Amino acid sequence: MPWLRHYNPQINWRNREIKFPPRRKLNIKRFKGILDYTPVEILIRAKTSISQTLEHNQKTEEKKPIEELISDFLIDYKRQFEKHASERFPESRSYDHAIELKPGIETLNCKVYPLSPIEQQLQNEFLTDNLCKGYIRPSKSPMASPFFFVSKKEKGAFRPCQDYRELNKATIKNTYSLPLVLDLIDKLKGAKYFTKLDLRNGYNNIRIKDGDQWKAAFKTNKGLFEPMVMFFGLSNSPATFQSFMDDIFTDYIKEGWIVIYMDDILIFSSDLETHRKWTIKVLERLRLHNLFLKLEKCRFNVTEIDFLGIIIRPRYIGMDPVKLARIRDWKPPTTVRGVRSFLGFGNFYQKFIGQFSELARPLNELTKKDKKFEWTKECQVAFDALKWKFLSEPVLIMPDTEKPFLIECDASKWATGAVLRQQGTDGEWHPCGYISHSLTPTERNYKIYDRELFSIIRALEAW
């Protein structure tokens, strides 16, 4: 446009702003065409459009009725996406969360944490809102856990928390296991279409078993309260919730077209017509159990999707670039806790990284109890090597159990490793996944051929 060339404004695409140099005068009557009338007003409109259109459109979309935001085949289930419909007290079920205490536990007490003015306001809002919903009630329990706030990723945002650490120590643990994320991903072979559903209200959909509410009471400067529904922090909450979801969808899980991890549901299929039928079946089951969805976090009938930190598309899986963005600016750790945090991130994605245990060995050494923390050159080399491996964004093909596999194994003095490969449509042998294991001091004394045999055994056990 001629006025852009003439005035050469500064455009910040990230912030959606346009600024004109202050020394210039706005005199654009000389231009013809689109800007030859009401020039100042047009410029204001242009600036407003660039800096505010996206935000305005987002707010407008949020105000749209559900019917305009979902596909026609979902219209009969629009209520499952309505927020106000989900704000109800859940019914009692056989899945109600029980809190079983170890023998001899009678009381727990705690101090009241001081709050900042902002936190005080947030606490008051939390109590008022949850009392109105029936999620909490005033209590006279002899048990009391602390209540406080933690910072969220969003700047200036806080999350209310009950500190149930002492209660959890006194609780008999539920051993129901959560599925391994990568085991769930392995079930997606042959899938071309994906739908992701995100459950609204999460743990709050499960009531605490009647008679156990007093055990989870929490103390605030406004009094003592006890939860009527599950909140984050209770040690057995994940097991209770996962078993609930697994049970109500058990037939669909066995049929092999749905995987569930807590409140995240993934439907997958090889053709679109079947996919829509299965999506309707899941929505029908959710409606039967009075469960609702966050429309803004759902994705329907797509060929590429992010699920639990993994990017999935037909035949291929990769690491989530949003999570990998953290790695680029990750500074070398200065504490054992920092090392554990980095290794925790790495362990989640180690299926994508060859020789992970070997590369991470110097960092793992720092986490040992009898080891003095000292960030050496060897640690820095290991840290940089792992970062480079992550940032190279390796992609794996999804294994097909009906086709042959190739396993490559290796062993060093410190670790064993293996890669599972399968031939792709291009005729090349692509990696399906990597495994690696650190060797114990005893295993390090094995002869090299024994260590290599050991790596083969571990690979066959894994795959």
* pLDDT of res. 375: 93
Mean pLDDT comparison of 156-165, 316-325, 380-389, highest-scoring range:
380-389
pLDDT tens digits for range 229-239: 999 899 999 99
pLDDT confidence of residue 3: 54
Q: CA 129 to CA 125: how far, in whole Å? A: 6
pLDDT computed for residue 33 by the predictor: 38
Token pair 């004394």 is found at 445
What is the rounded average pLDDT of the residues 334-359? 87
Residue with the bigger pLDDT between 216 and 436: it is 216
In this predicted structure, the answer to whether residue 396 has a pLDDT above a threshold of 80 is yes
pLDDT at 386: 92
Q: Which residue has the higher pLDDT, 20 or 90?
A: 90
Residue 370 has pLDDT above 90, yes or no: no
Q: What values do phi and psi take at 365, rounded to 5? A: -60, -35
Which pLDDT score is estimated for 39?
39
Question: 205 or 320: which carries more pLDDT confidence?
Answer: 205
The 10 Å Cβ neighbour count of residue 133 is 15
User: Quick one: pLDDT band at residue 418, thresholds 50, 70, 90?
Assistant: confident
For the ranges 87-96, 201-210, 352-361, the lowest mean pLDDT is seen at 352-361
More confident residue, 121 or 394: 121
Query: Which position has the token pair 């899980």?
Result: 253
Q: What pLDDT was estimated at residue 437?
A: 82
Per-residue CA distances from 304 to 96, 106, 418, 446 (Å):
36, 52, 28, 45
Q: Measure the CA–CA gap between 270 and 85, rounded to whole angstroms.
A: 33
Q: Which residue has the tokens 């020789």?
A: 355
CB atoms within 10 A of CB 341: 13
Q: Does residue 350 have a pLDDT over 60?
A: yes
Each residue of 56-112: pLDDT tens digit? 444 444 567 777 788 888 899 999 999 888 888 999 999 999 999 999 887 888 888
CB-CB contact of 88 with 295 (8 Å): no
Q: Which of 11-15, 206-210, 378-382 has the lowest mean pLDDT?
A: 11-15
User: How far, in Å, CA of 120 to CA of 126, rounded?
Assistant: 10
Q: Phi/psi class of residue 156: alpha, beta or left (left: φ > 0; alpha: ψ in -120 to 50)?
A: left
User: Which 3 state secondary structure label does DSSP give 297?
Assistant: helix
Taking phi first (over 0 means left), then psi (-120 to 50 degrees means alpha), and beta for anything else, what does residue 377 get?
alpha
Residue 14: pLDDT band (50, 70, 90) is: low
pLDDT level of residue 274 (50, 70, 90 thresholds): very high
Pairing of strands 415-423, 17-19: unpaired
Across all residues in the chain, what is the average pLDDT? 84
52's enclosing H/E stretch is helix 39-63
User: 202 in the Ramachandran plot: left (φ > 0), alpha (ψ -120 to 50) or beta?
Assistant: left
Residue for token pair 């599972």: 420
Q: Is residue 32's pLDDT more than 50?
A: no
Q: Are 418 and 458 in contact (CB under 8 A)?
A: yes
Residue 299 has pLDDT above 50, yes or no: yes
Higher pLDDT, 412 or 10: 412
Nearest to 197 by CA among 152, 245, 234: 245
pLDDT at 44: 36
Residues 6+ apart with CB under 8 A from 22: none
Mapping DSSP to helix (H, G, I), strand (E, B) and coil, where does residue 210 land? coil
Asked if residue 21 lies in contact with residue 7, where contact means CB atoms within 8 angstroms, the answer is yes
Q: Please tell me the distance from the alpha carbon of residue 248 to that of residue 239, in angstroms, as a whole number.
A: 14
- Domains detected in the chain: 2-63 (no CATH), 181-200+237-318 (3.30.70.270), 321-462 (3.10.20.370)
Give the CA distances from residue 22 to residues 47, 51, 396, in Å, rounded to whole numbers and listed in that order: 15, 19, 53
- Look at residue 157 in the predicted model and tell me its pLDDT: 80
Once rounded to an integer, what is the mean pLDDT over residues 419-432?
82
Q: What does the buried/exposed string (b/e) look like for 268-288 if buried means 16 or more CB atoms within 10 Å of the residue's CB?
A: bbeeeeebbebbebbbeebee
Res. 41: pLDDT tops 70:
no
How far from chain centre, in Å, is Cα 247?
22
- Residue 287: the pLDDT is 95
Report pLDDT for 35. 38
